[in-house]
Each structure stands twice: as structure tokens, then as C-alpha cells.
A and B are shown apart, each in its own frame.
Chain A
């Protein structure tokens, strides 16, 4: 009986009477005295400082060093690198948070009909959302779709529909158990595109209303992963840095490439000003100069009147200057368009059209 108390005694985790009884016993029982001493020493090896958070940038340095020593025979396609890096970074954050933090409330924000809307979920719910939408890419590659096993019928085709279906199908609020399937899927995606060869970059990934070539789709998934990683980090009060400059640059470039098409769509819906000057396809047209400063920055020229026109510095009618991370927050629907641009010059209508189009790229 007293022997069974030795662990609790060594940790000073029993009552005063029990402590006294154990210590009385130890004076007369050599085996227990011996074990008591050993367990007390073991307590000295415990410490309260949790594990040190790993510098998220260490990963790319370590992998680069490895690949410098022995080049990969099956390398990662460069366009998959942002997805690989962002999923790893989010996973490292998730490893460090406690059970309770998985249920911390997170408010997802995006733009709908030019108004900021939001939706309440939890940290685990966000990971479920990322997993459900990543499943679109899995399905396009012929991998198992995490929603595929849902009872009857094929899963909805849109990111929002898939997310709602995933949340609705969960009988209990999601827990940290969602981390493993999410991570397994992202690892499987990276692995599969590495083996698939060059042609796979252009494989069409359907999103319901539109489609993206696989290389853009994975970039879009990397972007979402970073943005929602930031949402989670805010919810559990952790620091979360923007992606590496080269990756951020690719994400901004994707948004810039999508903007002319979105502008045309909004114009058809009466949400953007009419085209002013249509040019033959492939010719330079009226453009907005998007000057992105800071990490991942650069210059982009957004064709305003038609997605078929080429963006061109010579035809720039307006200029918007803003920070790279700020631009991404705009695209993610985290900043209202009217507050986004630091510097604006030229055609006010063009600027407003582009900023609202950027915000409309966001969704649940």
C-alpha cells in the first residue's frame, strides 16, 4: 500500500498524513527507501520549460543543405514548394498547441457581394475546412477524397459546399484528431505531384464555378493555408510570420493573374465600370500598375478592360502601391478594399474596381 504511494510521494503529490506515513516506512524498509531515492532523483530530471518552438525557417535551410549534399532524384516541382512549406509551418504550430486550444473560437472572414462577412468555427474546424478544400486537388489527382466516404452521392463541387458538407457530417465538434488526416493528405499531395512529372502542372482542378491548373491550385492552397494559419495563430495567441519572399511573390502573382478575369465577371454582373477601350486579343490594353512593396514585392500590370488584353506599363492609367502582406490580406478578405491601398494615383474608378475585385477573390 505504502509502496504504491512512492511515485506520488516523490512528486510531493500526497496528503500530509500520507507523506508522514511513507517517510516513517522508509526508515525501516530498505527496498522502498532505495526506490524512493531513485524516484526522487527522477523528479529532478523533469522540468517545467516546455519544448522550445522550432524556428519555422529552419526547415528550408536544413532541406536545402541536404539537397546540396545529395541532389534529389525525385525533386519537388518548384510550384509545389509553397504548399509544402506552408503546410509544414501550420503543422508545426498545431503540434505546439494544447488540446483545449483546438476548440478556441476562430472567426473566418471573407467578402461576399462586396461586404465583409464572417463565420464562427474553431481551430479544429479550420483544419477541417482546409482538408475539405484540399480534397478538390486530391480528387483531381485521383487520390482519395476525404469527403468521398460521405454517405451516398458525390461531394459538392465548390470549396464552400465541401466545407459545409464536412462540418455538417461531423457528429461531434472536430478535435485535434483532424490534424493527422489533414497532414496525411497534404503529404500525399506533395508526394504525388513529385512523381507525376512535368505535364501534371497544367492538369485542370475544378472548383465548381471555375477551374485552375494544378500548379496554380496548389499555390492557392498554400495561400489559404498561410491565411488560415494566421487566423489560428491569432486565436491561440501565437506569432505567425508571412511566407518566404519567393513564395509570397508567387501568391501575389497568382492573384494578379486572376484579376483581369474577375474584373470581366464583375463587369458582366454590373459590379465594375464598363470597359473603356477594347483592344484585339494579345495586344496591350489599359492597365493598372500594382506596385507591391516589401517582402515578395514587385510590379504587376493588370489589364482592366479584358482578360484577353496584355497588362502594359505604357498603358497604365492608374497606380496602386501597397505592402505585399497587406495585398494578400486584401485578397483574403481580411482588409476592406477602401482601407487597403497606401498609395493611389490616377483613374479612381479603375483603382476601386481592382481593389473590390481583389477582395472578391476571397471566399469561405
Chain B
């Protein structure tokens, strides 16, 4: 997946969206749709709901390109935050519709679900955004079940370097488990506006 876009691209995209360029909207979709959809899907575990969130997020950006402030981080992290917010709202909404009285226990269970989904989505985001060499090492060790010496050989680096990458990758990933304070954006998405 693409790494964070240079800020110049972000600012330029914002201007083009503000100008009402349909071609810019298409480019925005091409760059971020996979991120938005996979994040929403990780949060909601439902294809239709993820489609719906994707529609809402792009609709919001297209109508409010001025809401993005490049001083507060990349457009990519902003898009991820918007997706997170919409997904949480949906998760809460879907539960609110369930029959039965609203009890403290149910509320706690819902918050637990939101937190779990948030952590999972943030972990995906961190993996997708981390430097490619770290991601490649984690994939070899975790998905392909290669040990670190084989990982080193596959990547053409020393065993020391493979160990370093695996540890660093996991250290980055472990920040997904940091409990976010109420209503702030999760730390994995970068600074909060």
C-alpha cells in the first residue's frame, strides 16, 4: 500500500476538490478507497456497511474539502480518522437499534466492541503505513512462517538486520493497543486536529 503522500500532493488535492474538479474526486477515490473500505470493514465486519461508510466518507470530503487542515497531518491520516469516526457512529447506531433495555452492562459491552474494533483497524493502518522493509519482514515471519534467518535470506539482509526489523515492526504495531482517551482520534492515525 502507498505510504503517506507528500504534503504537496495533499494541498494540491485539497485545492482541486475545492475547485469542484470531478477528475480530482476520481483520483482521491483511487488513492484512498482501499484504505477507507478496509478500515470500515475491519471495524464493522460487514461488506454493505463498509460500502456505506465509504460512500459517506467520500461524500463528506467532496462537500467539505476545507475541513482538512494540512498543518495537522497528512490527508491520508485525516481520511482514516473520518472513516474511524463514521464507523464508530455506525457501530453504536446498530447497537442502539437492538431490542431490549439499555443497561450499563450492555453499554459496557458496546464500548468494549468499539475499542476492540478500533484497535484492529488501527493495527491494519499501522501495518499499511509502516516503512515497506519492516512490513515485508513481518509478512515473511508471520504469514509465510519463515524464521528470522530465512527472513534475512529472503530479504537479502543480515540476520541482525532481520531481527531489528521484526522487533521495530512489532514495536510500531504495539502502539495500536494504546487506549485512546474518550473521543480523541486513536494515536495510530497521527496527531488530532
Interface of A with B (CB < 8 Å)? 4-8, 10-11, 13-15, 35, 38-39, 41-43, 45-46, 48, 51-52, 54-55, 58-59, 61-63, 65-67, 69-76, 84, 88, 91-92, 95, 183, 187, 190-191, 194
Contact = CB atoms under 8 A, between A and B. Distances in A.
Interface in B38-67: 38, 41, 47, 51, 54-55, 58-59, 62-63
Task: Kindly name the residue among B1, B151, B167 whose own CB sees the greatest number of chain A CB atoms within 10 A.
Answer: B167
Q: Which 4 A-B pairs have the closest CB atoms?
A: A7-B167, A73-B20, A7-B166, A45-B123
A72 B24 CA distance: 10
Given A7-B166, A39-B170, A63 B21 contact: no
B163 A5 contact: yes
A76 B25 CA distance: 10
Contacts of B55: 61-62, 65
Secondary structure at chain A's binding surface: helix, strand, loop or mixed? Answer: helix
B146 A69 contact: no
B142 A11 contact: yes
B166 A72 contact: no
B33 A43 contact: no
Interface in B81-125: 119-120, 123
Main secondary structure of the interface of B (DSSP, over half): helix
A321 B82 CA distance: 50
Interface string B137-165: 01001110011100100000000101111
B26 interface: yes
Given A11-B166, A39-B171, A59 B29 contact: yes
**Which among B19, B26, B37, B147 has the highest number of chain A CB atoms within 10 Å?**
B26
B52 to A, nearest CB: 10
A95 B22 contact: no
A13 B148 contact: yes
B120 A190 contact: no
Nearest to B134: A7
Given A7-B168, A10-B170, A183-B30, 19 more contacts: A4-B160, A4-B164, A11-B170, A38-B171, A41-B177, A42-B170, A46-B173, A58-B51, A61-B51, A63-B22, A66-B25, A66-B58, A69-B63, A71-B20, A73-B19, A76-B22, A95-B34, A191-B24, A191-B27
B151 A45 contact: no
21 contacts: A7-B171, A11-B141, A13-B148, A13-B166, A14-B148, A39-B167, A45-B119, A45-B123, A45-B173, A51-B34, A58-B51, A63-B26, A65-B55, A67-B62, A70-B20, A70-B63, A72-B22, A74-B19, A88-B29, A88-B30, A187-B23
